[in-house]
Amino acid sequence: MPPFATYNLSKRYPGARQYALRGVDLDIPKAKCTVFWPPRPPPPLRAGKTTTIRLLMDFIRPTAGEAYILGCETVSRVDGDQNHRRLFCPARLRCMAK
């Protein structure tokens, strides 16, 4: 299994008419620098980049599908076992120079 993988990953927020993410399959190989840049859909639709990252980080739960980091399922288990390390880079970085 690759270090980062998703299989049929989908997210539909409660009350939403459309899926924020539907059926995403990713296999990101080891030792590769990968840019996550899906095509830009017409407004008001979004591409699902942030939703995908939030699902991988287990900040939100998927509606369907599976996501793995280093072979570990990203969805928190009932017993609270989270044996993977998380690295998160926010969309907006602010640098302060003095």
Instruction: Please report whether residue 95 resides in a domain.
Output: no
Instruction: Please report whether residue 83 resides in a domain.
Output: no
Q: What pLDDT score does 30 carry? A: 83
Instruction: Please report whether residue 84 resides in a domain.
Output: no
Instruction: Please report whether residue 21 resides in a domain.
Output: yes
- Nearest 10 degrees: Cα torsion 69, 30, 36, 14: -20
Question: In a structure prediction context, what are the per-residue pLDDT tens digits for the chain, which is 98 residues long?
Answer: 788 889 999 999 999 888 988 999 988 888 777 776 766 766 666 778 888 888 888 888 899 999 888 888 887 554 445 544 455 555 555 554 44
Distance CA 6, CA 24 (A): 7
User: Which is it for the CA torsion 84, 54, 15, 23, positive or negative?
Assistant: negative
Q: What pLDDT score does 98 carry? A: 47
pTM: 0.68
Domain that holds residue 16: 4-73
Instruction: Please report whether residue 53 resides in a domain.
Output: yes
Distance CA 21, CA 12 (A): 7
Q: Are 26 and 6 in contact (CB under 8 A)?
A: yes
> How many domains is the chain partitioned into structurally?
1
Instruction: Please report whether residue 60 resides in a domain.
Output: yes
Instruction: Please report whether residue 41 resides in a domain.
Output: yes
Q: Are 84 and 70 in contact (CB under 8 A)?
A: yes
Instruction: Please report whether residue 85 resides in a domain.
Output: no
